């Protein structure tokens, strides 16, 4: 005897095609944040700010140490010295150069601190990244120019036999 056809129960409903597609598309993937949407400034901008300051301290330290003259550089370890001794000498000279700048021209490091602060102004991550790149490039370019000028001055002093 054939069984009568049963109707689907009202309590058990199947999801629609749109609901299935939405579930498949979401798939646990997190959407990337929109780089043009406003976002919290502090974490990202603070990262850029600290990166710019470390970068600026390095180039300021090199320039500050070079201002001591060529004889200060000649007191360093030889090329045959262990690498750890050479790295330690360079780190000490960078820290000493920054110290010299803070003592002789305190407005210069303070100006770098203020200039690097503009990375907190943009509201979107993309603009913050561009601002950080711009500020970093300007600071490094200025100090690389000063290093090059100091190097050319030191070379002129060394080539003059009566200088030292």
Kindly give the parts of the chain with pLDDT less than 50. Answer: none
Would you call 114 exposed, middle or buried from its count of C-beta atoms within 10 A (0-12, 13-18, 19+)?
exposed
Query: Rounded CA gap, 16 and 5, in Å?
Result: 23
Residue 150, pLDDT score: 93
Q: What is the pLDDT of residues 47-92, one digit of tens each?
A: 999 999 999 999 999 999 999 988 887 888 988 999 999 999 999 9
Query: Rounded CA gap, 144 and 80, in Å?
Result: 28
Residue 19, pLDDT score: 78
Phi-psi region of 4 (alpha: psi -120 to 50; beta: other; left: phi over 0): beta
Gap between the terminal Cα atoms of the chain: 120
Residue 28, pLDDT score: 61
Residue 84, pLDDT score: 96
């Amino acid at each position: 005897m054939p069984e009568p056809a049963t109707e689907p129960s009202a309590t058990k409903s199947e999801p629609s095609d749109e609901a299935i597609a939405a579930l498949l598309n979401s798939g646990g993937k997190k959407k990337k944040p929109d780089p043009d949407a406003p976002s919290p400034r502090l974490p990202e901008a603070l990262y850029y700010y600290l990166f710019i300051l470390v970068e600026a301290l390095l180039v300021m330290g090199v320039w500050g140490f070079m201002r001591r003259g060529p004889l200060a550089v000649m007191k360093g370890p030889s090329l045959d010295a262990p690498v750890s001794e050479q790295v330690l000498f360079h780190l000490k000279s960078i820290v000493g150069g920054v110290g010299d700048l803070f003592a002789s021209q305190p407005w210069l490091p303070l100006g770098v601190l203020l200039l690097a602060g503009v990375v907190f102004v943009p509201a979107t991550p993309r603009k913050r990244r561009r601002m950080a790149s711009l500020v970093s490039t300007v600071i490094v370019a200025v100090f690389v120019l000063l290093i090059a000028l100091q190097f050319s001055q030191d070379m002129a002093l060394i080539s003059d036999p009566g200088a030292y």
